[in-house]
Amino acid sequence: WNQAKRHGPRSQKRGVNLLLKCTAMITQAHNALAAGSADDLLQCKATKCLFVFDFDHTLVDGNTDTWVQGVRPELQAVKRGKHECWTDYMDRIFEHTHRAGCGHEELWAWMCRLQLYPQALRAVQAVAKCEWAHAIVISDSNSVFIDWILQQSGVRAAFREVLTNPAHFNSRGRLCVQWCHSHSCQLCASSPNMCKGALLRGYLECSHGYQQVVYVGDGRGDLCPCLRLREEDTVVCRKDYSLAKRLAAEPSAVSAAVHVLDFTKELGDFIICTYLQ
């Protein structure tokens, strides 16, 4: 509340709303205990918080799509077309990777060098241990790379869902990646293969309902879902990256609280201290 007073009327309003929600939850729990209602008490203990993590530059300190191009020096010469969707470009990269003789095992070994940095790992492990929190990934990378890296870091089971561009190895042993979906969102027009805002909305519509969403991201593709969040939700964005800059330029555009962090130094500690204790 003291922080809200220092940051003006809008933050004060958010603080009041959160205090009212907390009071209502405490009252509900008290009534359930007084009435001896097991169902009501279980409802109080139900999942309340959804953590949504981007992947590149958020859980890993790098970009999986540019990282993979380091596996063969000649891949640097494969240029993206002027109007080519990034996902289509990456599919061409994987064709060149296959022609260069780089197979499943070599790709796996190379990609697994890009692991979760300590603060990201600390955050994910802490959320996984929390009974009332769930975690998902929404990323414009691909399913093969994300699964490999999460498994190598020992935290694949921490995520209930990974929403990303589907990828697989075909009968020739060539990695293929496809669009996650098509969309008509103007804010995400530069990425016709994915609207993260639509993905988050679809996931929330199919869920049991969360009292709070904590969105952790860094890039311009993360702006759309952040603009869809409510006052009781939170955006945690990476310092000096495009999402933080866009939100700083238009602070009134987002209803959720915004926190800007140096992810590699602060992310895990912040999530644990702010949400999980």
Instruction: Give the separation between CA 102 and CA 237, rounded to whole angstroms.
Output: 35
Burial class (CB in 10 A: 0-12, 13-18, 19+), 155: buried
| Structure tokens that stand for 259 in this block | 């926190």
Instruction: Give the separation between CA 8 and CA 24, rounded to whole angstroms.
Output: 25
Q: Is 133 helix (H, G, I), strand (E, B) or coil?
A: strand
Contact (CB, 8 A) for 145 and 64? yes
CA 226 remoteness from chain centre:
11
Instruction: Give the separation between CA 125 and CA 122, rounded to whole angstroms.
Output: 5
Among all residues, which ones are annotated catalytic?
A: 54, 56
Q: Quick one: angle between helices 104-111 and 143-152, nearest 10?
A: 60
Phi, psi of 174 (to 5 degrees): -100, 130
Contact (CB, 8 A) for 112 and 136? no
Dihedral sign, Cα of residue 174, residue 180, residue 184, residue 189: negative
Instruction: Give the separation between CA 137 and CA 150, rounded to whole angstroms.
Output: 11
Identify the H or E element spanning 135: strand 133-142
| Structure tokens that stand for 215 in this block | 């969105």
Dihedral sign, Cα of residue 22, residue 234, residue 204, residue 255: positive
